[in-house]
Structure 1
Amino acid sequence: MTTHTSSPNPDAGRNASPYLYGEEAAAVADVLQSGQYGHTEVTERFEQKVAEFLGVRDAVALTSGTAALHTALLAAGIGPGQEVIVPSMTFCATVQAVLAVGATPRFADIDPATLCVTDRLVMDSLTDKTAAVMPVPFGGRAVNLNPIRKELADRDIAIVEDAAHAFGSRNGTRRVGATGDLTCFSFGPIKNLTCGQGGIIVPRTRTEADTIRRIQMLGVVQSQAERGQTTNYQVDSFGLRYQMSGINAAIGLAQLDHFEKTETTRRALWRAYRRALVSLDDVRLVDVDVDRTVPHLCQDLIPNRDEVHARLRARGIGVGVHYPPNHLQPAFAQWRRNLPATEQAGHEVLTLPFHQHLTEADIDQVVTAFGQALTEARTTPHDGQPQQ
């Protein structure tokens, strides 16, 4: 590994960053010039193209990944008095979606090698109030849902997958989302595929797809075109304004045209990190099963994480923490459980800069600084005096 003495490349100073292929602006301009900015045929084309990419019958585009989670839980009939099993090691949006439908989060622990839930950990969290399980393919790595399905086969419990990190990843030979469960994706600014902001739900049935579309249309029965032909319209259920605009969908369509390159690039960057990190002691790279994953994050578990984080930030390296455990957050403290693997990971996990603007030279520079920070943290106690 080459040692760099110059200041970090600005790309290494960002933990994550959107990546555009150059056609998104023109696609948005076309929508703006059309005068139709809301949910339009552009949105419907995006839905169709995502469904084709995933190998599924239908997909419904929404305003965000959080909106997708909220709507999916509503469509699955989850509500007050019920519990939803969620890993504590996830973005808080997963938990907030559970609260939004009036249900209660039941936090589950994780496999420390993958930061994902397993069937055993799901079953350890099961109660007589469990109505849904929300697995999270952390960092993009697919969760093996088959054992979870098998364990839940004789129970009326929905699987609602929060696949915000995992667009393009595979579960076996199929893409995440094509496994027959209710699946939600996020297309926020720094996701593997971005719409600027947006999300999508893969429904399980045509009836469920209709329910999701009704919810995202504020419970209105008629389509926008049908409403234009009448002096009245009918609202027959609860709903929310969650339709993706044609502007956002146009960005997603342009991104999807280049997704093969996205897959290749993100895997190559993750492998470059893996090669470079082998030389560092006390570093365990979180396993994303890179051959089947389009990685969203590159994470390590290390001792002295907070001190290493501060030292790298002082060097201009854009490290982060994904995520502080949710069961330790003040907003969710009433549902706190003993989750030893999650709490250990919460103290040790460090997210390295990971986005498509990086080069392998940038990664080499990040890892060199990482090694120096680890050495300094190991030899300098908190009182500032060198260890004997």
Structure 2
Amino acid sequence: MTICTKPDAGRNASPFLYGQEAAAVAEVLESGQYGHTDVTEEFERRIAELLGVRDAVAVCSGTAALHTALLAAEVGPGHEVIVPSMTFCATVQAVIAVGATPRFVDIDPATLCVTDQLVMEAVTTKTAAVMPVLFGGRAVDLTSIRKELTERHISVIEDAAHAFGSRYGARRVGGTGDLTCFSFGPIKNLTCGQGGVVVPRTHDEADTLRQLRLLGVVKSQAECANTTSYRVDSFGLRYQMSGINAAIGLAQLDHFESTERIRRSLWRAYRRALAPLDGVTLIDVDPDRTVPHLCQVRVPHRDKVFAQLRAQGIGVGVHYPPNHLQTAFADWARPLPATEQVAGEILTLPFHQHLTETDIAQVATALGQALKMAGAASCARS
């Protein structure tokens, strides 16, 4: 039974295209303008409109979004950034890239997200930023500590790589007043092939981000076309989003209401299918407000269950191995009991828009069988 992705059965996620993306890319290619163009700027306008914000700054990846956001918030050497260990390594690498120190924090096992209490327990005199990860698409509520963080001049920089389209209350993630970073990689809720966006807090911050993504050059696209020189005022990086990637994103935006509806429906189908299974704890993504990016469960005998499902061609995964236990980040390790407990139980089920409810029912059946086999094997050895 191979039902996880197309064409690679070894993955648990898959890009989903609506059919207009190729024509949109072809139009950019025919124009001869492949870099940051008016297509990129139109993508920024459309993103800002959807999120209900004034500015959105497009960059070449979600990691670039995190990096430039930290730079714009003036986070650097001598600073600490509070970050959950349960996240993709890009979150931590962005902190290290600006010369700051990651201050790993534990998570709520029910959501895999940080909480206000856990954040405040990790704050030190060196804390310059908090980087909550909106795991699986779920918004993180730091309302109760926002005033204290502001008074301490601590920036909130949301890693919303999983959360494009999700809501916090009535507002979309990105429209809540924080620096917010989105990823538009191949398997995200909205894809550009590769890309990202930073939502700034102020107009000045937007200007800073646009300068950072273009090697510190101070000049608009139109000015570059009509003068013989340019001015470099600051450090910067080659992080612009190309018109090719933006064209894919624009085509995806035309269908985003369908994306929201389908992904919520699939997640709810999993909730129904998994409900009868003993020993399975579904990670709560709050589907009424979230555009789900993942469907995850906690199970006993995880490694055995993983192997059995993979042997059947079901593309389960593990998101993510904790960063504080990785060799590259060992210098900043500290005990995180909830993270370490969850790390041995978490299992990511196939979740993408190619799935049907029949596929989901088959995954649930196979999971139940794998749990019984793993449990029986464990009892036999004991």
TM-score of the aligned structures, taking structure 1 as reference length: 0.96
Looking at structure 1, the residues matched to 170 and 22 of structure 2 have their Cα atoms a distance apart, in angstroms, of 34
Structure 1 CA distance for aligned equivalents of residues 81 and 68 of structure 2: 14
Instruction: Determine the C-alpha separation between the residues in 2 that align with 1:9 and 1:132.
Output: 41
- Greater CA drift, 289-298 or 143-152: 143-152
Give the alignment partner of residue 370 of structure 2, picking from 369, 373, 379.
Answer: 373
Secondary structure at 2:157's aligned position in 1? strand
Letter of the aligned partner of 1:253 in structure 2? Answer: L
Map Cα deviations across residues 297-333 of structure 1 (whole Å, 9 max, x no partner).
Answer: 0000111111100110011100000000000000001
Secondary structure at 2:2 match in 1: coil
Match of 1:9 in 2: 3
1:290 counterpart = 2:287: yes
- Deviations along 1:70-89, whole A, 9 cap, x unmatched? 00000000000100000011
Amino acid at match of 1:50: I
What is the 5 A alignment of 1:1-388?
7-9=1-3, 11=5, 13=9, 14-381=11-378, 386=380
Looking at structure 2, the residues matched to 227 and 292 of structure 1 have their Cα atoms a distance apart, in angstroms, of: 42
How far 1:387 moved relative to its partner? 5.2
Aligned-partner Cα distance in 2 for 1:346–1:233: 50
Query: Is residue 84–residue 105 contact of structure 1 (8 Å, CA) maintained in 2?
Result: yes
Q: How many angstroms does 1:11 deviate by?
A: 3.8
Name the aligned partner's letter for residue 321 of structure 1: V
Contact 2:267 2:292 in 1 (8 A): yes
CA contact (8 A) 2:4 2:315 kept: no
TM-aligned CA deviation for residue 10 of structure 1: 5.6
Q: Answer yes or no: is the 8 Å Cα contact 2:37–2:221 preserved in 1.
A: no
3-state SS of 1:380 partner: helix
Q: Percent identity?
A: 74
Q: Counterpart of 1:9 in structure 2: which amino acid?
A: I
CA distance in 1, matches of 2:172, 2:2: 36
Deviation at 1:346, TM superposition (A): 0.6
Tell me how far apart the structure 2 counterparts of residues 249 and 145 of structure 1 sit (CA, whole Å).
Answer: 32
1:147 to partner: Cα distance: 1.8
Rounded to whole Å, the distance in 1 between the matches of 2:20 and 2:145 is: 41
Q: Deviations over 1:262-289 (max 9, x none)?
A: 0000000000000010111110000000
Q: Which amino acid aligns with 2:270?
A: Y
Instruction: Say if 2:35 and 2:241, in contact at 8 Å, map to a contact too.
Output: yes
- Distance, in Å, in 1 between the alignment partners of 2:192 and 2:354 is 18
Shift in Å at residue 226 of structure 1?
1.2
The ranges of structure 1 where at least 4 consecutive aligned residues each deviate by more than 3 angstroms after the TM superposition are 8-14
Are 1:118 and 1:148, in contact at CA under 8 Å, matched by a contact in 2?
no
8 Å contact kept, 1:28–1:251: yes
Cα deviations by residue, 1:126-159 (Å, 9 ceiling, x for unpaired): 1110000001110000001312313313211100
Shift of 1:30: 0.4
Q: Secondary structure at the match of 1:84?
A: strand
Alpha-carbon distance in 2 for matches of 1:8, 1:221? 52
Q: Taking structure 2 as the reference length, what is the TM-score of the superposition? A: 0.97
Two-structure CA RMSD over aligned residues (Å): 1.2
- Count matched residues: 379
| Contact in 2 for aligned 1:215/1:238 (Cα 8 Å) | yes
Q: Which residue of 2 aligns with 1:4?
A: none
- The alpha carbon displacement at 1:291 in A equals 0.4
> CA separation in 2, counterparts of 1:348 and 1:181?
32
Provide the secondary structure at the position in 2 that maps to 1:159: strand
C-alpha separation in 2, matches of 1:175 and 1:123: 25
Q: Contact 1:131–1:156 at 8 Å: present in 2 too?
A: yes
Letter paired with 2:271: R
* 8 Å contact from structure 1 (residues 11, 362) kept in 2: no
Secondary structure of the residue aligned to 1:184 is strand
